[in-house]
């Protein structure tokens, strides 16, 4: 599976996720028959990544899209699987299955796929997505520990691979001296919000997900997760027979929770209008950047300037989703800071320089 490239904005906390429409799969051969099946499976992953919801695959129109996956494939290529040959000697004397010979790299056409999903009334989650810091404490046979990439590479790899599958910019804490001075495994296990919030400040993430995982019975692992997105808090309990499967379910829950807030479904009655003012426009460059920013938002269908006077712009935008989603996107990107004072027309301050 390809790793998504993450580009951090210097002025916004949100992350631009590149590679949302790219997928890799290991295959045994380069036949058309094998490729046709793999392309459908890959497109199904892209659909879930793009809509934010696995239930999109149950939609009849989406199933037709996946059935004609070749229409949306813009390019593909093969490469040798670098693992082939490394264990050739060992495999001669064991019953282990040899690794698949090739890696199939696929890229799907963003514009045509988004258009098809939109026509199917599916939510669309753009590539500007909230970053999530994951604090995870696991109780194992030797006690409790905090998961990070240096000390727990296998668990970290599972989390990062599953985050990539869902298009999530997710990170694990460093657990260096600074972290150890601010937070303990007991704080994470107890999910003490004040301690977690203080320790999370250095990472400047948009959301924090705190979990404790333990073996509930001989047959089941149990997870309790708390997701904090601004002032909103969500909780869930998950169970699975295998720890790996539990982490897969956890990343699925994170993706679905964030998509509920940020993915946009076009209204069947047409776009809604939202009027607002922006203060602090000091130059033509500010004017151009602001217009480009608003016009580039996935949720915005059109932008109309109603008035421009002494550094203040008044806009009316047509949006594909609800006004609350539009405001959530603005808060996530942080280019526009809302004026909390009561106003006849909602007012924002332009922060991008």
* % pLDDT > 90, the chain: 79
- Is the pLDDT reported for residue 200 higher than 80? yes
pLDDT value of residue 265: 86
pLDDT value of residue 3: 41
Helix (H) or strand (E) holding 225: strand 221-229
Q: What is the mean pLDDT of residues 270-285?
A: 90
List of domains in the chain: 21-119 (no CATH), 128-262 (3.30.160.100), 272-350 (3.30.70)
pLDDT band at 89 (very low <50, low <70, confident <90, very high): very low
Could you report the per-residue pLDDT of 50-87, keeping only the tens digit for each? 999 999 999 999 999 999 999 999 999 999 998 886 65
Largest CA distance in the chain: 80
**Model pTM?**
0.84
Strands 347-350 and 336-338: antiparallel
Distance CA 344, CA 79 (A): 60
Distance CA 166, CA 53 (A): 9
Write out the two tokens for 313: 């712009």
pLDDT band at 298 (very low <50, low <70, confident <90, very high): confident
- Is the pLDDT reported for residue 117 higher than 80? yes
pLDDT band at 9 (very low <50, low <70, confident <90, very high): very low
pLDDT value of residue 11: 35
pLDDT value of residue 269: 66
Nearest to 158 by CA among 141, 175, 134: 134
If you search the block for the tokens 């599958």, which residue do you land on? 165
- Is the pLDDT reported for residue 2 higher than 60? no
- Is the pLDDT reported for residue 209 higher than 70? yes
């Amino acid at each position: 599976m390809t790793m998504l490239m993450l580009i951090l904005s210097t002025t916004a906390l949100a992350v631009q996720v590149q590679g949302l429409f790219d997928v890799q799969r290991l295959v045994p051969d380069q036949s058309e028959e094998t490729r046709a099946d793999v392309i459908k499976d890959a497109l199904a992953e892209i659909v879930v990544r793009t809509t934010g919801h696995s239930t999109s695959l149950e939609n009849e129109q989406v199933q037709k899209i996946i059935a004609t996956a070749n229409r949306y494939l813009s390019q593909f290529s093969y490469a040798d699987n670098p693992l082939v040959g490394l264990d050739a000697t060992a495999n001669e004397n064991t019953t282990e299955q040899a690794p698949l010979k090739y890696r199939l790299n696929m890229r799907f056409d963003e514009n045509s796929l988004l258009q098809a999903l939109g026509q199917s009334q599916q939510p669309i989650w753009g590539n500007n997505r909230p970053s999530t810091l994951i604090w995870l404490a696991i109780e194992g046979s030797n006690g409790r520990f905090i998961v990070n990439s240096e000390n727990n590479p296998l668990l970290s790899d599972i989390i990062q691979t599953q985050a990539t599958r869902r298009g999530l910019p997710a990170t694990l804490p460093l657990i260096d001296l600074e972290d150890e001075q601010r937070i303990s495994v007991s704080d994470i296990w107890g999910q003490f919000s004040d301690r977690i919030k203080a320790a999370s400040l250095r990472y400047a993430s948009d959301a924090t997900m705190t979990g404790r995982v333990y073996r509930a019975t001989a047959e089941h692992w149990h997870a309790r997760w708390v997701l904090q997105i601004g002032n909103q808090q969500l909780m869930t309990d998950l169970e699975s027979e295998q720890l790996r499967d539990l982490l897969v379910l956890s990343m699925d829950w994170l993706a679905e929770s964030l998509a509920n807030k940020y993915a946009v479904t076009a209204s069947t009655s047409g776009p809604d209008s939202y009027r607002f003012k922006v203060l602090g426009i000091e130059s033509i460059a500010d004017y151009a950047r602001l217009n480009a920013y608003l016009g580039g938002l996935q949720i915005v269908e059109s932008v109309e300037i109603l008035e421009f006077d002494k550094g203040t712009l008044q806009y009316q935008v047509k949006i594909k989703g609800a006004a609350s989603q539009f405001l959530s996107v603005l808060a996530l990107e942080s280019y526009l800071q809302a004026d909390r004072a009561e106003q006849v027309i909602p007012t924002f301050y332009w922060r991008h320089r």
